[in-house]
């Protein structure tokens, strides 16, 4: 007898059919359920251009989509990309130790952060960047948040794969619509 396989949650399966924006919206909704109102962004490396690109933000006015950070060999990048470990800073002085440009975050009223690597097959494909009020990111919450990263991973991967339905021949498309039909 084959063991039962848990089904993909309907919310994620439904979002997957709509695209990366819908997946990131589900991700943000689930993160907000754990943290309350927070800034949530997702960054993905563009290794060819040597930068991190913000591909999702729940506050595009302050944190717009597009180029976000230059990839550098510093403590923050090593922690996330080489060690595949989260960066957690629960107050202003801890944030300043990780991010020298802390003033920009302070101006936005954010006083704690968690950067959580999104890992697929042992490789970091992106970062979930979460910012909130003071002392929010406990070990327990970080564990819960890490459990939400597969949804972000799906969004990141989908954002990097663009499917052109017109690149598929009409005969192959018809096979999907009518599985009994043979392709010529």
Q: What domains sit in the chain, N to C, each tagged with a CATH number?
A: 10-161 (3.30.450.40)
Answer with the residue of higher pLDDT: 155 or 8.
Answer: 155
Nearest-5° angle of CA 13, CA 67, CA 136?
65
Residue 163 clears pLDDT 80, i.e. is over it: no
Average pLDDT of the chain?
82
pLDDT in tens, 6-54: 555 788 888 888 889 999 999 999 899 888 888 999 999 998 888 899 9
Local structure of residue 31 (DSSP, 8 states) = H
- CA separation for the pair 151, 15 (Å, rounded): 10
- At residue 176 the predicted structure's pLDDT band, cuts being 50, 70 and 90, is very low
pLDDT at 183 (0 to 100): 46
Q: Cβ contacts of residue 126 below 8 Å, gap of 6+?
A: 42, 43, 44, 45, 55, 117, 118, 152, 153, 156
Match 């939400």 to its residue by tokens. Answer: 148
Assigned token pair, 83: 């060690």
pLDDT at 181 (0 to 100): 47
In sequence order, the β-bridge partners of residue 116 are 128
pLDDT in tens, 45-97: 998 888 899 999 999 988 899 888 888 888 999 999 999 999 999 988 888 88
- CA separation for the pair 140, 125 (Å, rounded): 23
The model's pTM: 0.80
């Amino acid at each position: 007898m084959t063991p039962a396989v848990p089904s993909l949650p309907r919310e994620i399966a439904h979002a997957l059919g709509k695209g990366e924006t819908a997946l990131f919206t589900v991700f943000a909704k689930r993160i907000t359920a754990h943290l309350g109102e927070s800034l949530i962004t997702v960054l993905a490396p563009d290794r060819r251009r040597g930068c991190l690109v913000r591909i999702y933000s729940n506050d595009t006015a302050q944190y717009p989509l597009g180029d976000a950070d230059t990839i550098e060999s510093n403590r923050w990048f090593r922690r996330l990309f080489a060690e595949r470990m989260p960066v957690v800073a629960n107050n202003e002085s801890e944030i300043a130790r990780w991010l020298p440009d802390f003033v920009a975050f302070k101006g936005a009223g954010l006083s704690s952060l968690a950067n959580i690597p999104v890992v697929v097959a042992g490789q970091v494909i992106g970062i979930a960047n979460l910012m909130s009020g003071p002392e929010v990111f406990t070990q327990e919450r970080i564990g819960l948040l890490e459990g939400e990263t597969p949804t972000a991973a799906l969004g990141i991967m989908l954002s990097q794969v663009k499917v052109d339905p017109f690149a598929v021949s009409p005969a192959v498309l018809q096979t999907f619509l009518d599985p009994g039909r043979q392709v010529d």
